[in-house]
């Protein structure tokens, strides 16, 4: 049996029908740029998350770029980003004319904290990005209090955290902006690219609406705001996302159930990343010093795995990241392996992977 690491084209029958109907509706009725499909999804997603002032954009990276620009960060200002965030926030910072400054991870929680942020902070920093990686929430109370004392903007990157709630509250509501990606493999995925940014402040959100369409604020074809871009959420993708949103909680429950199977199968030999009580299991990440051994073992059983992420932000020469060393993140990056974890895994595939995990003997190969 071959088990893929991801299979975004697999859909349940009801969800597949809803997606086809949504696509046919847009093709038949239009419009094909912005319009009621985009507005309807923005409103539906805001209701679902409890976040206000949602603005649909072309992809998750542009969501970060528009957030930085709408928040009015100074040209060349520093933006704190986690060392293990995959390069997405750092890329967006560079596109927005900002300087990514890397933060290390806390050795106990393997997340950024107020302490790691303070260690990385320098006078030119104006914002901090917290990435809720792998569908697990970064505890924000300490970071939020710290950044307020420092007078910094807080952007929550929720690209891997659709549906993630802590104490009944969806992530993204603590910061000045919350960004989302709808890349096809996300918990809520489009059939192409798509993104959204939500703001706490209505005036900032209106600025973002102008920035996503060239900087047109007062009227079409007149650029009123600098640094505008063309990054509109496609109505086709908005319709697909609206069709899939009602299925999200059920899909997340299936992800958690699969991750729990992996956690129990590995018990005593390796840990699974994150809190099982709150995760939406975007990735099921094993943390083990025997990472390569486990990957070889699973490959021998036809199980595809991945590493999220194999390179730290500070090791990517094209990003020109600044800041101090990140030894905890470096050590962690050598110990992580992502297992297949998506709702459409069949029961047979789940059983196959579970059996392979139970048969693994660390260091045997």
Reported as a single tens digit per residue, the pLDDT across 143-163 is 999 999 999 999 999 999 999
pLDDT tens figures, 174-221: 999 999 999 999 999 999 999 999 999 999 999 999 999 999 999 999
Tell me the mean pLDDT in the region 222-235. 97
Residues 6+ away with beta carbon under 8 Å from 68: 79, 92, 93, 96, 98, 127, 155
The pair of three-digit structure tokens given for residue 272, joined into one six-digit string: 């699974």
Tell me the mean pLDDT in the region 168-177. 97
- The whole-angstrom separation of Cα 196 and Cα 61 is 10
Q: Is cis: bond before 309, omega within 30 of 0? A: yes
Per the prediction, the chain carries an average pLDDT of: 97
Give the torsion sign (CA, 86, 89, 90, 91): positive
**286-302 in b/e burial notation, b at 16+ Cβ within 10 A?**
bbbebbebbbebbeebe
pLDDT of residue 363: 75
Q: How far, rounded to the nearest angstrom, does the alpha carbon of residue 275 sit from its chain's CA centroid? A: 17
The pair of three-digit structure tokens given for residue 192, joined into one six-digit string: 């192409």
Give the torsion sign (CA, 132, 135, 139, 140): positive
pLDDT of residue 199: 97
Q: How far is CA 187 from CA 5, 38, 43, 44, 122, in A?
A: 14, 19, 19, 16, 35
pLDDT tens figures, 342-356: 999 999 999 999 999
Tell me the mean pLDDT in the region 8-30. 94
The domains located in the chain, with CATH, are 13-246 (3.40.640.10), 248-359 (3.90.1150.10)
- The whole-angstrom separation of Cα 153 and Cα 210 is 21
Of 34, 118, 100, whose CA–CA distance to 64 is shortest? Answer: 100
Q: Are 286 and 165 in contact (CB under 8 A)?
A: no
pTM: 0.97
pLDDT tens figures, 42-78: 999 999 999 999 999 999 999 999 999 999 999 999 9
**What whole-number percentage of the chain has pLDDT above 90?**
97
Tell me the mean pLDDT in the region 11-29. 95
pLDDT of residue 365: 58
Looking at the DSSP assignment, which residues form a beta bridge with residue 99? 78
Give the torsion sign (CA, 261, 262, 263, 269): positive
- The whole-angstrom separation of Cα 162 and Cα 7 is 18
Q: How far is CA 178 from CA 78, 128, 319, in A?
A: 19, 12, 22
The pair of three-digit structure tokens given for residue 212, joined into one six-digit string: 């996503």
Least confident among 6-15, 118-127, 140-149, 299-308? 6-15
Residue 19 in this model has a pLDDT that exceeds 80: yes
pLDDT of residue 141: 95
**What whole-number percentage of the chain has pLDDT above 70?**
99
Residue 316 in this model has a pLDDT that exceeds 80: yes
């Amino acid at each position: 049996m071959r088990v893929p690491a991801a299979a975004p084209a697999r859909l349940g029958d009801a969800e597949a029908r809803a997606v086809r109907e949504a696509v046919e509706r847009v093709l038949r009725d239009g419009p094909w740029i912005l319009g009621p499909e985009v507005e309807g999804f923005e409103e539906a997603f805001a209701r679902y998350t409890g976040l206000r002032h949602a603005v649909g954009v072309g992809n998750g990276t542009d969501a970060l770029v528009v957030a930085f620009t709408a928040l009015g960060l100074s040209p060349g200002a520093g933006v704190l980003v986690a060392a293990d965030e995959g390069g997405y926030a750092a890329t967006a910072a560079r596109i927005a004319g900002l300087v990514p400054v890397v933060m290390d991870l806390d050795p106990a929680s393997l997340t950024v904290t107020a302490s790691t942020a303070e260690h990385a902070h320098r006078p030119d920093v104006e914002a901090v990005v917290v990435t809720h990686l792998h569908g697990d929430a970064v505890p924000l109370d300490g970071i939020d209090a710290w950044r307020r004392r420092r007078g910094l903007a807080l952007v929550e990157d929720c690209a891997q955290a659709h549906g993630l709630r802590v104490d009944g509250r969806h992530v993204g509501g603590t910061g000045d902006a919350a960004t989302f990606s709808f890349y096809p493999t996300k918990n809520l995925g489009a059939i192409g690219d798509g993104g959204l940014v939500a703001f706490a402040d209505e005036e900032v959100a209106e600025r973002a609406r102008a920035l996503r369409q060239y900087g047109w604020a007062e009227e079409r074809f007149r650029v009123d705001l600098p640094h505008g871009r063309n990054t509109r959420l496609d109505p086709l993708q908005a319709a697909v996302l609206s069709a899939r949103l009602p299925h999200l909680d059920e899909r997340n429950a299936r992800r958690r159930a699969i991750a729990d199977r992996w956690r129990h199968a590995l018990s005593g030999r390796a840990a699974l990343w994150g809190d099982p009580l709150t995760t939406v299991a975007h990735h099921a990440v094993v943390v083990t010093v025997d990472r390569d051994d486990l990957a070889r073992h699973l490959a021998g059983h036809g199980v595809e795995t991945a590493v999220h992420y194999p390179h730290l932000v500070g090791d990517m020469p094209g990003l020109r990241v600044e800041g101090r060393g990140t030894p905890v993140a470096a050590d962690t990056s050598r110990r992580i392996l992502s297992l297949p974890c998506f709702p459409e895994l069949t029961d047979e595939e789940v059983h196959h992977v579970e059996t392979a995990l139970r048969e693994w003997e660390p260091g045997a190969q």
